[in-house]
Amino acid sequence: MRRPEFRAPKWEVSFKILESILKHPTTVSFVRSKTTSAQYVASRFRDPTFEKLMDKYKNFLKVISIQDLILANPTNKNDPPSVSLDFLNRLSQKLQLNRGATAFLRKYPHIFRIFYDPTRSQPFVKLTEVAFEISRQEAEAINASLPLVVEKLVRLLSMSTSKSLPLRAVFKVWRELGLPDDFEDSVIARNSKNFKLCDGNEPNTHVLKLFDEMRGRDFTAAVDNWRVMECCREDCEVNGMDLHYSFKQGFPSGMRLSKDFKAKVKEWQRLPYVGPYEVMGENKKTKSGIKRSEKRAVAIVHEFLSLTVEKMVEVEKISHFRKWLGIDFNIRDLFLDHPGIFYLSTKGKKHTVFLREAYERGQLIETNVVYDCRRKLLDLVVLGRHGLITGGFKCAETSKSGESESQEEDSE
């Protein structure tokens, strides 16, 4: 009888792998098949530029949530919208305000103003004139870009295998896509030639579908536009054959790339695939089909991020589209496998993915009006309590003056 082969326990193997990762934290290699997802996330290279940006965004997202509650509670015509402080304190846990709403609001006097209403005998919260003006400018910018918003929805539905998406999934990313908060009426209902709402398989669910007349449109993906521009450059060092299926790759300084990783990236760049707006006809179960299907999945999420206002989105939100877009891979691992295209951050207890090529030094390279308005509000968040004595602030000085405030808010 053959003697059984000795095998180390699984926990011991995982520990050895994790130990080797920690010894070489900046060396990039493919380790997903040998580690759990949590270990794979922990072993990723942390880009300080994106991490610093997410430090600001943690509290910015909380400010946005409170701002939406205030704006959704209109008062008399002559009075600005406000919400009771007691109501916000009751929602502190849901809004992730660990020290309570009052302590959080007082950190941002340029955005929120607490006042006492004698008629209702309780304190209320409203937006400052500056913050209210920024929200008004953003709303105007969104309304002015409604034709572009319709185009985005058509593109998103065109990437779906059934040319349809659940309405609840679209609601998850309405802000990321630059949709107005009443987009069901202002966009979908007013463009009945493009869209139609149907009942879903589950009760009280709706599915947004694209009319047959709109399904034949030929869209060009953002990555294809980059390839054309790259090919036309005089200093382009990549030959046409390699560029035909390539994606723009960018790695931050300090990120050591192993030879094995570089070889795999080069091989992957040359791999043919079906674009995000084309029909996948190849058998996905074959070895070549799996590889091309993965590259198509990268192309789909790349195009998805290109359609967003800030070229970033929470991984949990984009996961709601996975089945409808025909992605058979773990979304988070997909981002980690391609660090030259995407960057995954875990700041603020959320996994957020950025389109790396769209950013430079923590800001969008090609800005838009909606993004500019949100950036103004982000400047006020970073400003914190600074600038109260002089009564003003300079956007250029924001990053310097807000460092200590950002460190204080990390405890939240």
User: In the prediction, which pLDDT does 5 show?
Assistant: 46
Does pTM top 0.85 for this prediction? no
Q: What CA–CA distance (Å, rounded) separates 215 from 73?
A: 39
User: In the prediction, which pLDDT does 237 show?
Assistant: 59
In degrees and rounded to multiples of 5, residue 352 shows phi and psi of: -120, 135
User: In the prediction, which pLDDT does 241 show?
Assistant: 64
Q: What CA–CA distance (Å, rounded) separates 100 from 36?
A: 36
Q: Which segments in the chain show pLDDT lower than 70?
A: 1-35, 77, 213-214, 216, 234-241, 282-284, 389-412
Residue spans of alpha helices (H) in 31-174: 37-42, 48-71, 85-90, 101-105, 129-144, 146-159, 167-172
Q: Which residue in 75, 57, 66 sits closest to 103, CA to CA?
A: 66
User: In the prediction, which pLDDT does 234 show?
Assistant: 66
User: In the prediction, which pLDDT does 236 show?
Assistant: 64
Q: What CA–CA distance (Å, rounded) separates 180 from 167?
A: 14
Strand order in the sheet with 164-166: 164-166, 206-210, 195-199
User: In the prediction, which pLDDT does 389 show?
Assistant: 54
